[in-house]
Amino acid sequence: MHSLETGTLVEELAGEAGLGEAAIVVLPLDPGSQLFAGGVARRSERAIYPASTIKVPIAAVLAAFWESGRLARRDPVVVSPANVTANDCESPLLAGYQTSLEELGRLMLTRSDNVATNVLIDVLGRDVISRMSQSWGLRATAVRRKLSGGDPLIDDSEADGRNAHSAADSARLYAMIGYGVHWAEPWLTETLLDQQWNDKLSRGLLAGDRFAHKTGDTSEVSHDGGIVFTPQGTRFVVVVHTELPSSPENDERFGAFMSSLRPLLD
């Protein structure tokens, strides 16, 4: 099927699921895909606030620092009171808690821990994260402020605008992780596979599928994206960024989209 036809198909599936003007990418990582050969992108460059999906490029830079020897997994870090904010589930990262870079990275990805994210922004440097991401081709990715779990927003004197990470950049990053570029060690995939928030695209997966992914939620946006591993051994990147508010009803829309899309990926 021609890419124009598959693009129309994705448009129809998104419309039927009620995803509105969602930014969507579907990209096969292995040869042999007939339907989505070359990938399909729908409004993927739109500048939608990334919410917690920004945590994936932060984790990738952390892994790159480990790979280069600039930092080590067990390097100790003490949580500063300035980085403490609310989370969707209780965080062990209280002020004064001594942790390691690996624990911070794991909590950031699997539990979407905002405190871990803020500590890592300090350790790595927001400008460094942005420059490294852009050097990998993630042109619309930048870390400009720390994350807040609610109001009032965290006091961030170095904030310089809103964070950015488009659906297109998210798909590019997951493709790099899937293809195993030199810094994309197994830790990234294994940790994303341990994701604890599985109430969006995961709803539409088939038995035996695995999904290395990250969600993002605020009162204004709802996102999900990652690498689908099928029992047949094929892999697909699926990314959906929306300007729908985070809610159980909208989570179901993600699941409906994946339910319609997933049989077409085999």
40-60 pLDDT, tens digit per residue, is 888 999 999 999 999 999 999
- Domain boundary residue, one of 143, 162, 181: 162
The mean pLDDT of 80-84, rounded to a whole number, is 96
Percent of the chain with pLDDT over 70: 96
Same domain, 60 and 108: yes
Q: Are 158 and 171 part of one and the same domain?
A: no
User: Are residues 11 and 39 part of one domain?
Assistant: yes
Residues 170, 266 within the same domain: yes
Residue 142's domain spans which residues?
49-162
Residue 163 — pLDDT band, cuts 50, 70, 90? Answer: very high
Distance from C-alpha of 200 to C-alpha of 109, rounded to nearest angstrom: 16
Are residues 31 and 77 located together in one domain of the fold?
A: no
Give pLDDT, residue 88.
Answer: 86
- Within this chain, do residues 85 and 36 fall inside the same structural domain, yes or no? no
For residue 151, pLDDT beyond 50:
yes
Mean pLDDT of 230-238: 94
Using CA atoms of 188, 116, 143, 229 in order, give the dihedral in degrees to the nearest 10: 20
DSSP 153: P
Q: What is the CATH number of the domain that holds 87?
A: 3.40.710.10
Q: Based on the structure, what is the number of domains in the chain? A: 2
Q: For residue 56, give the nearest of 100, 109, 104 by alpha carbon.
A: 109
Q: What is the mean pLDDT of the chain?
A: 93
Domain boundary among 135, 162, 189: 162
